[in-house]
Amino acid sequence: MSLQTLKQQALANPQVREEYNKLENEFSLIDQLLSMRSTAGLTQAQVAEKMGTQKSNISRLEKGSSNPSWKTLLNYAQACGFQLAIKATKVS
């Protein structure tokens, strides 16, 4: 059995799929944060300053070890010169 089919079977389980989807979303969230800041050409310290906080907090945010609030996401995006919206897509 290949890894692919193993993954398929695992994802056939609705419970597993839910967790998987959540993980995917978390990954993409962090990716988006990083990509916003890098295309803005800003350092963590610069973003922190614009947000009125500390660079260590930005690092914590970007390392994915936390669970940011919506307002924090908005502020971060704004500091990087972006506007934010959520995209909801029907699943299953």
Q: Which of 55, 78, 82, 84 binds DNA (CB under 7 A)?
A: 55
DSSP string, 7-64: HHHHHHSHHHHHHHHHHHHHHHHHHHHHHHHHHHT--HHHHHHHHTS-HHHHHHHHTT
Toward DNA, which CB reaches closer, 36 or 58?
58
By CB under 7 A, is residue 59 in contact with DNA?
A: yes
Closest CB 35 distance from DNA, rounded Å: 13
Q: Give the 3-state secondary structure of residue 75.
A: helix
Give contact residues for DNA (rule: CB under 7 A): 43-45, 51-63, 65-69, 71-72
